[in-house]
């Protein structure tokens, strides 16, 4: 009897042990994985706000002129130098007029001859010694000669450069005695009126869409490091520069009675009135950051594995990162444990942060 009790107790213990091992095996197979990495999740938050746009560019004048001769020739005389202030209509340079004056004289002689030919044919036509066709040809010859004289005199009047605006000679691109072609710039003139100063900068298409005419800006100039200037967006180019793919904008600035000059370096903070949407995640969720580009891990549909997706970083504020793109439709990102993960890796979710 005693032996039977001992055998029964032993069998019960064996059965209990087998049951516990089976339950442990089932629990392990359902809830754990030897290769799973424990991770924490954080919810992706959404926010909308207006962010400033930072850019840099050069001071310029809205009234600028590149002055040139209408026709080519040798520069006979230059009357101004770089940096000199000039008035509208002031004579800046002239070509050597030897050839041009000869062309005017030649055209004038042509007119005189055509007048004589016309009068002679007209008299002959009256005496029926010339035909109507001959009279018409003489008339046409006289008119053509007169037009040639007009052209020569016009070119003679434009064998000089007069300033189209009042301002400063910012650049002189040729010297006396040089041969220049028609339309080749010889001077660059910029207005120096306080209402004409602007800063021109290039911005991306995303920033371009956030700006509108009238938006305010703060302008800092290296030449006046301790002072800021108020600015207003006055122009938004409708097309991108084919070279750098940026959209040029123009910001009009108030010089505050300061002396400005074209080419001064400026830094701008553009205050857009249009808000922008962001996804916000903890900074520990960001991996492999390079400039604005980074990656995060998210759970796949099974919630047992992770996938690595690229994101675009907008701003970092303390422990939070504002994401501009890449998280559309994503509700959670991996935070704790992400440093040990690889794309497609198995995870065990612990809790939300």
pLDDT in tens, 288-341: 877 788 999 999 888 888 888 899 888 888 889 988 888 888 889 888 777 778
* Per-chain mean pLDDT for the chain: 83
Q: What is the CATH number of domain 66-108+139-189?
A: 2.40.50.100
Q: Considering the chain, what percentage of its residues have pLDDT values greater than 70? A: 89
pLDDT in tens, 155-214: 888 888 999 888 888 889 989 999 999 888 999 888 877 778 899 999 998 889 889 999
> 109: pLDDT confidence band, cut at 50, 70 and 90?
very high
> Domain 37-48+276-352 is in which class?
mainly beta
Please tell me the distance from the alpha carbon of residue 230 to that of residue 249, in angstroms, as a whole number.
16
> 18: pLDDT confidence band, cut at 50, 70 and 90?
very low
Fold type of domain 54-62+193-271? Elongation Factor Tu (Ef-tu); domain 3 (2.40.30)
Pair type for strands 197-203 and 53-61: antiparallel
Q: What is the mean pLDDT of residues 8-36?
A: 41
Q: Can you give the pLDDT at residue 339?
A: 73
pLDDT in tens, 221-269: 998 988 999 999 999 999 998 888 899 999 999 888 888 888 889 999 9
Q: Considering the chain, what percentage of its residues have pLDDT values greater than 90? A: 30
Opening angle at CA 50, ends 44 and 51, nearest 5:
85
Contacts of 236 (CB under 8 A, 6+ apart): 208, 211, 212, 213, 247, 249
Count of residues making up the chain: 353
Please tell me the distance from the alpha carbon of residue 23 to that of residue 57, in angstroms, as a whole number.
71
Residue 73's nearest CA partner among 104, 53, 94 is 94
Contacts of 257 (CB under 8 A, 6+ apart): 194
Give residue limits of the domains in the chain.
37-48+276-352, 54-62+193-271, 66-108+139-189
Q: What are phi and psi of 297, to 5 degrees?
A: -105, 140
Beta bridge partners of 160: 94
Q: Can you give the pLDDT at residue 32?
A: 45
> 351: pLDDT confidence band, cut at 50, 70 and 90?
low
Pair type for strands 167-172 and 265-271: unpaired
Q: Can you give the pLDDT at residue 26?
A: 34
Q: What is the mean pLDDT of residues 212-220?
A: 92
Q: How far is CA 171 from CA 127, 179, 196, in A?
A: 66, 18, 18
**Sheet containing strand 347-352, strands side by side:** 332-334, 37-43, 347-352
Residue-wise over 170-179: b if at least 16 C-beta within 10 A, else e? bebebeeeee
Does the pLDDT of residue 12 top 50, yes or no? Answer: no
């Amino acid at each position: 009897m005693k032996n039977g009790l001992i055998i029964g107790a032993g069998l019960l213990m064996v059965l209990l042990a087998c049951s516990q091992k089976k339950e442990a095996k089932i629990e392990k197979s359902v809830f754990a994985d030897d290769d799973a990495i424990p991770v924490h999740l954080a919810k992706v938050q959404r926010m909308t706000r207006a962010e400033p746009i930072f850019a840099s560019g050069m001071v310029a004048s809205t009234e600028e002129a590149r002055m040139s001769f209408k026709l080519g020739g040798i520069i006979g005389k230059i009357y101004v130098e770089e940096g000199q202030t000039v008035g509208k209509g002031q004579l800046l340079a002239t070509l050597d007029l030897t050839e041009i004056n000869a062309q005017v004289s030649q055209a004038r002689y042509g007119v005189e001859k055509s007048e004589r030919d016309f009068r002679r044919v007209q008299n002959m036509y009256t005496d029926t010694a010339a035909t109507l066709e001959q009279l018409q040809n003489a008339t046409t010859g006289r008119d053509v000669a007169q037009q040639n004289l007009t052209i020569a005199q016009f070119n003679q009047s434009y064998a000089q450069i007069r300033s189209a605006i009042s301002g400063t000679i910012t650049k002189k691109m040729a010297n006396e005695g040089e041969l220049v072609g028609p339309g080749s710039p010889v001077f660059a003139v910029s207005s120096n009126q306080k209402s004409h100063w602007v800063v021109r900068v290039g911005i991306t298409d995303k920033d371009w869409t956030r700006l509108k005419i009238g938006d305010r800006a703060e302008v800092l100039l290296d030449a006046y490091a301790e002072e800021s200037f108020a600015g207003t967006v006055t122009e938004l180019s409708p097309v991108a520069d084919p070279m750098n793919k940026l959209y040029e904008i123009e910001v009009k600035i108030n010089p505050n009675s300061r002396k400005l000059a074209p080419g001064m370096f400026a830094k701008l903070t553009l205050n857009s009135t249009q808000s922008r949407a962001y996804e916000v995640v903890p900074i520990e969720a960001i991996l492999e950051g390079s400039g604005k580009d980074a990656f995060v891990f998210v759970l796949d549909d099974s919630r047992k594995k992770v996938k690595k997706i690229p994101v675009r970083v907008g701003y970092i504020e303390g422990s939070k990162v504002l994401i501009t793109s890449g998280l559309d439709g994503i509700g959670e990102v991996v935070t704790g444990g992400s440093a040990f993960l690889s794309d497609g890796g198995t995870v065990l979710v612990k809790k939300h942060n």
